[in-house]
Amino acid sequence: MARSHNKKQDKKTQPDDDEENSCRLDKWLWAARFFKTRSLAADAVDSGKVRIDGDRAKNAREMKPGMLVGIKNKDMQIEVEVLALSNVRRGAPEAALLYRETEDSVRIRQQLKESGADQYAGRDRGMGRPTKRQMRDIQRFTGRD
């Protein structure tokens, strides 16, 4: 009886080879901490905000090291290269080891930060909704007439 208990413990501490070598896209996005929940990751994939090697993907897509994953979110636009796979969400330092951001992505994010283009329509907290006149000005400025 003690022997079977040890097998269960060994099974929990050592993941299966199949689990290490395969990983779904939505699970990987969640484990890499790009999304708070797996359902948010799945919704982003379904709505086309996540692309693999430039193409739309599905949630069940098998991830492999070396793939390029582009993620568009309201707060960020990032492209990363997959370095490792994981089906388990761990701390941020460990999650950062799963991917590497591409040089182009870093450069684009830096340019947006310097130009302030990502904050063009930002409003201070507590300012309320824009007035009709302010909305017209915002639409004229952004070219959405």
What one-character-per-residue DSSP string does the chain give? -HHHHHHHHHHHHS--HHHHH--BHHHHHHHTTSSSSHHHHHHHHHTT-EEETTEE--TTPBP-TT-EEEEE-SS-EEEEEE----SS---HHHHGGGEEE-HHHHHHHHHHHHHTGGGTT---TT--SPPHHHHHHHHHHHT--
Confidence (pLDDT) at 18: 41
Q: Which fold has domain 2-101?
A: 3.10.290
Average pLDDT over residues 90-108: 93
For the cut 80, the answer to whether the pLDDT of residue 115 exceeds it is: no
For the cut 90, the answer to whether the pLDDT of residue 91 exceeds it is: yes
Domain edges within the chain:
2-101
